[in-house]
């Protein structure tokens, strides 16, 4: 699909307004990919404020889990994992969960 210059600019600039002041470039690029992946092309203005807030919150849940090791309910993790499918992040940290530690200690 070929887009006009105005559409390309709008698509690339739209997510930039949601970058957190404290987000480094690596974290932002991953979260930006999550946001862009979950907004149908050309629908930025059609998003209701509630839907946009939900998307931004889910992007933070995913980024917090990925980069900080935060844990959330299984249902929420399943949802954000599905939404992030196909997004590759280089050098993402690996965190050991409490359950994994407990399993190691039982052997």
Summarised one tens digit per residue, pLDDT across range 59-97 is 999 999 999 999 999 999 999 999 999 999 988 777 777
Summarised one tens digit per residue, pLDDT across range 43-62 is 666 778 888 999 999 999 99
DSSP 14: G
- What pLDDT, on a 0 to 100 scale, did the predictor assign at position 9? 39
- What pLDDT, on a 0 to 100 scale, did the predictor assign at position 42? 66
In angstroms, the CA 94 to CA 107 distance is 22
CB-based contact 31:62 (threshold 8 Å): yes
Cα–Cα nearest to 87, from 37, 52, 43:
37
Rounded to two decimals, the pTM is 0.75
Please report, for residues 8, 11, 17, the alpha-carbon distance to residue 5 in angstroms, rounded to integers and kept in the order given: 5, 10, 19
pLDDT (average), residues 3-25? 68
For residue 2, pLDDT over 90 is answered with: no
- What pLDDT, on a 0 to 100 scale, did the predictor assign at position 38? 92
């Amino acid at each position: 699909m070929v887009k006009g210059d105005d559409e390309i600019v709008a698509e690339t600039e739209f997510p930039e307004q949601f970058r957190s002041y404290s987000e480094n470039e690596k974290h932002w690029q991953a979260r930006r990919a999550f946001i862009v992946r979950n907004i149908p092309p050309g629908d930025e203005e059609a998003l209701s404020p509630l839907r946009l807030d939900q998307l931004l919150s889910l992007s933070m849940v995913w980024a917090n889990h990925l980069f900080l090791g935060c844990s959330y309910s299984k249902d929420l993790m399943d949802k954000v994992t599905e939404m992030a499918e196909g997004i590759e992040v280089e050098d993402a940290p690996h965190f050991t969960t409490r359950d994994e530690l407990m399993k190691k200690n039982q052997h």
